[in-house]
Chains A and B, each alone.
Chain A
Amino acid sequence: MLNRISTYFYQRPKLVLALFLLPPMLYMAVVYLGSLFSLLINSFYSIDDFTGLVIRELTLKTYGQVFSPANREIFMRTATMAAAVTVFDALLAFPLAYYIAKFASPRAKTWLIIAVTIPLWSSYLVRVYAWKLILAKEGILSWFINLLRLDGALEWLLSFPSIGGSSLALSPIGMFIVFSYIWLPYMIIPIQTALERVPGSLLEASSDLGARPLQTFRTVILPLAFPGVVAGSIFTFSLTLGDFIVPLSLGNSKFFIGQAVYSYQGTAGNIPLAAAMTMGPVVIMIVYLLVARRLGAFDAL
C-alpha cells in the first residue's frame, strides 16, 4: 500500500511540489501579505473627529496629517538618530570585524563569532533593561563618571535641549548609547564577512608595491569592506527607525516614529494615522535598499 502511494507521488513531482509549497505559501500569503495589504488600506482610511470612529472610505486626509509639522519633526528626529547610530556602530564594529577576519586564529575565530552572534538572538528587552540600570542617575555609570570627576562635563552635555534631559536614562544621548549597543552585532557580522573575502595576497601586493600600512588600509581594505558597512547599515538604520521600546523606556516627550505609531494606535485609537505613519519607515527602507543594492551591499549579506 505504502509502496503504491509512494510510486503514485514519485511519478507526479509537480503534485508533490504543490503539496509541499501549499501550506507555507498559503500561510505567508494569507496571514502576512494579507496583513500588509490591510495596513495599506487602513492608511487610506480616516477617523471621524467627533466620534473617534474609523471611516472606511478611501481618502488622502490621513496622509495630510502624517506630513504635519509636528510629525515631520518626528521623522527628522528619528532619521537623524538612525544615521548617528549607524555611523557610530560602523566605527565600533570595524576594528573587531577586522580582527576576526584577518588576525584571529581559527579556534579564536569560532568563539569570537559566537560571542558576536549570541547578543543577536538573546533577549532584546533584557538588553535594553540592563541599560536602564546602568544609565540611572544613581547608577553605575554616574558613579564611574563621578569617580573620574567628569560629572561637570556630563551635566554640561545634558544641558543641551536637543540631546540632553534630566539624566542619561531619560535623554536622547542615553537612547543613542542603547541603540548603538543593541544593533552593534548586525554591523559587525556583514563587515567581517566582507573582510573575510579580501584575499591576503592583495594586501601583500599592496605592501610589496610600497604602500605603507595606513595606505593599504585606506586604498585597499576600506573600499573592499564598504559594501559590508552598507549591508550592516541596512539593519542598524531600519531597526532604529521602527523601534518603540527604547524611546518609550529612555526617551522623553519628544517622540520618535515607533513611539508615535504606538501611541496613535493605543491611547488615541487612531489606527489609520498609525498605519499611515508606519508607511514612513517602509518607504525610507525601500529607498535605502535600492541605494544599498547599487553600492553592492547585497553581495556582502
Chain B
Amino acid sequence: MPSKSSSTPKASWGLKLASLGTLLFLHVPIFIIFLYTLTPDERTYTFPLPGITFKWFGVALQRADLWRALKLSLQVAAVATFAALVLGTLAAAAVYRSKFFGREAISFLLVLPIALPGIVTGIALRTAIGGLDIPFSYWTIVIGHATFCVVVVYNNVLARFRRMQGSQIEASMDLGANSFQTFRYVVFPNIATALLAGGMLAFALSFDEVIVTTFTAGQQTTLPIWIFSQLTRPRDRPVTNVVAMFVMLITFLPIVFAQKLSAASSDTEGEPK
C-alpha cells in the first residue's frame, strides 16, 4: 500500500480508509455518551433512544454526593499538581545543570510509577501505608497521586531547559544580576509555559486517576471512584452519563491547551500514563 515515491506523497485509498477507520474508532465512542445524556430511559441503555429529555442535567446538579466527590477530586488534583510542580522542576533543574553520577537513574526512578502497571503502584502504596498504620485519608490519596504526577512536570520542564540557551544565564550574571534575579527575569519566563503545560497535564492525570486511588483512599470518594462504583453496580445510569460527559469536557480543555502549548514550542510532552 505504500506510494511509489515519497517525493510525490500520495496515499492509496486503502490506506486512507484504514486510517480514517482507526481515527473514528478512537473518537466516536465518546460521543455516544453525549447522546445518552438525553435519554429518558432510566434502567437500560436502549438504542435508539426512546425520547429526548434534558432533565438529567438538573438532577445531577442536585446530587450532594457528586458535589462532594467533585470537590475532593479538585482538592487532591490541586495539591498533587502543586507538589509535582515543585519536585519535578527541582529534579529537572538538577539534571539539566550538572552531570553527576546516577543521573540516568533519576529519570528511571521518576518514570517508574507510570511505567509499571498502576496496580503495582497502588498495592505497593497500600501495603506501605497499611504497614505503618497510617489511616487512609485525603493525604494518602495526595501522596499517591504526587508520585506519578512528578514525571509529567519533570519531562516538560527538562525538555524546555534543554532548548534554553545557557548563554542567556551567563549574560544575565555577567550584567550583574544575582542568582535570584536571574531566575526571576531569565529562567522563569523561559520555563513558564512548560510549567503551565506540565501542570495542566498533571492535573488532568490526577483528576481522573482511579487505579492508585482505589488502593490509597479510605472512605473518601473521588469523582472517578464514584464513576467506578457505577460501572460495576449501575444504580444511577442517567446521572452517570451526565457526570461522564462533564469529566470528559473538564479534562479535554486543559489537555488540548497543554498540547497546543507544547506543540507551539515543539517540546516533547511527558510520557503518558
Point out residues on A near B: beta carbons under 8 Å: 2-3, 5-7, 9-10, 13, 16-17, 20-21, 23-25, 27-29, 31-36, 38-39, 41-42, 92-93, 95-96, 98-100, 102-103, 110, 112-134, 136, 138-140, 142-143, 181, 184-186, 188, 200-201, 203-204, 207, 213-214, 216-217, 221, 238-239, 241-245, 248-249, 258, 261-262, 265, 271, 274-275, 278, 281-282, 285
Contact = CB atoms under 8 A, between A and B. Distances in A.
B109 A23 contact: no
B211 interface: yes
B199 interface: no
Interface in B21-71: 22-23, 25-27, 29-30, 32-33, 36, 44-48
Contact of B123 (A128, A201, A278, A285): A278
A203 B272 contact: no
B208 A99 contact: no
Contacts of A17: 94, 97-98, 100
Contact of B178 (A2, A186, A241): A2
18 contacts: A24-B94, A24-B150, A32-B113, A32-B121, A36-B124, A42-B131, A99-B15, A100-B19, A112-B23, A119-B27, A121-B201, A121-B273, A122-B251, A127-B30, A207-B5, A242-B120, A244-B119, A261-B119
B117 A238 contact: yes
Which of B7, B83, B86, B91 has the largest count of A CB atoms less than 10 A from its CB? B91
Contacts of A121: 201, 204-205, 251, 255, 258, 272-273
Contacts of A115: 23, 26-27
Given A13-B98, A221-B2, A29 B109 contact: yes
Contacts of A39: 120, 123-124, 127-128
A133 B33 contact: yes
Contacts of A245: 210-211, 228, 231
A42 to B, nearest CB: 4
A298 to B, nearest CB: 12
Task: Describe A's contact surface by its main secondary structure.
Answer: helix
B191 to A, nearest CB: 14
Contact of A130 (B29, B88, B119, B154): B29
B74 interface: no
Contact of A28 (B86, B100, B130, B150): B150
Interface centre among A95, A124, A258, A281 (most CB of B within 10 A): A95
B6 A204 contact: yes
B201 to A, nearest CB: 6
Contacts of A217: 1-2
B45 A138 contact: yes
Contacts of B15: 95, 98-99, 103
A9 B173 CA distance: 13
B248 interface: yes
Nearest to B176: A3
B18 interface: yes
A133 B230 CA distance: 12
- Residue from A17, A139, A242, A271 whose CB has the most chain B CB atoms within 10 Å: A242
Contacts of A214: 1-2
A271 B118 contact: no
B134 to A, nearest CB: 12
A138 B2 contact: no
B141 interface: no
